[in-house]
Chain A
């Protein structure tokens, strides 16, 4: 073996270790979206931490935003030299897994109808009866997209996603003329609420509708009004 190779290899491995370690240092990347910070899940977190620091939630939020922006900028500067290596090697280290529990999660519902007939629920997350394409929609890559669509900053992706799923549903159900995709957003029950069987009330959110065109082809999804939840219909 050439005499220089062990040293070159040692440099490469050392560089790799330094690069992945720096890349794994926690960062606010992906979390700096003010619209998302207005989500009740984030507001609950901010209120809890404001309490720990003895600050008013609004003041804490402003200060945290400033600190996170400054830290995020510094983080990007530090990592700039290793980004080309990451892109080449595919060695990204993004380990943001369940950084915080989603206390106000969304539940996807897809329904269809023929003409002005009643809506028939085709798919609903966690449902044992509305199971259209369940195996596909429960694949981790689909669930990952569905999870994101429930956040405000993914609105356009959600519209596009509903177009695809609506077209698929219309293909699978030739008698249907309209597909409705929407989310049920509600606070998760606390342990006490779960024990007593009292589910917190929720609301419909992000309603989109896909219609079959005169040529039989699905049209792009359009926004529609979110219906109020019927009394006593918490899910």
Chain B
């Protein structure tokens, strides 16, 4: 089979939608909680309303110009609608429609004020784009429950593959851009120390870490290597998928379970970030992608072990990836 046909066949593959559904639930809740907090604290007006309506900046209204512009009321309505769509998307109620409303609403809000956003905006927008076109509502959803037991709980696997690629790409790209002398090997390795001292991002004053300064240097180098090494995650997936082929490196990767090691390191890094810094929805949005790094059969096995699933929901060919 030539390369193109193999590519087409790969994208044709279907699998139980469990991993995509878990990611859908996580992303829907993350956006709903994030926007819900903005509403409760009246911060939606400050960030997204135009300066003439109490906002921090003069902003371009985009398509909202047709509805009267970036008034406090319009922003409140759009934020509330997007929050609601986040909840219905998480619960899998009219999943596709909820996803489209959520994607449109969130990207409209996120793109309004480029001074008041972060990498979590880009990440969530990319996750939503792929989830909307996936079959993530096929299981663990009210839609599936309403459809009854005969419902097909499978979905195309390619959105999950692309989400895993997105995770590795994000880590690699951010690692490549950490060019400070404080980050790169051979430098002072003091990047994390100084980042932890920044009032804007620190969760609490962090001078007390001084006695453990060498540990922050190790963490600095570890973070840089982890991010630069993101392509290893993709290689680990490839070796898992082709585990029957020969090769010492392939065998070593599978014996060590490099995928699990990489993801475990990533979880430790995000836990460390959350414990010491306030970076908004970024860690949660990143960890949502980790849910796609496990094959639906692995989720089914976990469900059986926890007594949540009696039989495997898998209805298609099994292919660990």
Residues of A within 8 A of B12 (CB): 6
Which of the four size classes fits the interface of chain A? Answer: 35 or more
Among candidates B158, B169, B178, B280, residue contacting A21 with C-beta atoms closer than 8 Å = B169
Asked if A129 lies at the interface with its beta carbon under 8 angstroms from chain B, I say no
* B4 cross-chain contacts in A, Cβ below 8 A: 10
Contacts of B281 in A (CB 8 A): 140
Q: A10-B11, A194-B207 are in contact. Are A95 and B173 (CB under 8 A)?
A: yes
A93 near B122 with CB under 8 A, answer yes
Of chain B, the residue at the smallest CB distance from A107 is: B199
Contact mask A15-55 → B, CB, 8 Å, 1/0?
01100110011100000000000000000010011001000
Interface residue stretch chosen among B43-51, B93-101, B251-259, B301-309: B43-51
**Inter-subunit contact B117/A48 (CB<8 Å):** no
Q: Check B166 against A141 for contact (C-beta < 8 Å).
A: no
Report the separation of the CA atoms of residues A145 and B117 in the bound assembly, to the nearest whole angstrom. 8
Distance, CA A133 to CA B267, complexed state (A): 32
Chain A nearest CB from B262 CB (Å) reads: 18
Indicate whether A71 reaches chain B with its CB closer than 8 angstroms. Answer: no
Which of A10, A90, A100 is within 8 Å of B182, CB to CB? A100
B246 at the interface (CB under 8 A from A): no
Give 1 or 0 for each of A164-176: 1 = CB within 8 Å of chain B CB: 1101100000000
Contact B210 A143 (CB under 8 A): no
In the assembled complex, how far is the CB of residue A142 from the closest CB belonging to chain B, in whole angstroms? 6
Residue A191 lies at the interface, judged by CB distance under 8 Å to chain B = yes
A160 touches B129 (CB 8 A): no
Segment of A74-82, A111-119, A146-154, A224-232 in the binding face: A146-154
Q: Which of B129, B177, B198, B211 makes the CB contact (< 8 A) with A102?
A: B198
Cα A144 to Cα B182 with chains together (Å): 22
B residues bordering A, Cβ < 8 Å? 4, 7-8, 11-12, 37-38, 41-43, 46-47, 51, 54-58, 103, 107, 111, 113, 115-120, 122, 125-126, 129, 158, 162, 165-166, 169-170, 172-174, 176-183, 186-188, 190-195, 197-202, 204-205, 207-211, 213, 278-282
Q: Can you show 29 pairs from A to B with CB atoms below 8 A apart?
A: A9-B158, A13-B158, A16-B162, A25-B173, A26-B179, A91-B126, A92-B125, A93-B126, A94-B122, A97-B174, A97-B282, A99-B178, A99-B179, A99-B180, A101-B192, A101-B194, A101-B198, A108-B199, A126-B202, A136-B43, A138-B278, A139-B280, A140-B118, A143-B200, A160-B56, A161-B56, A168-B54, A188-B194, A195-B210
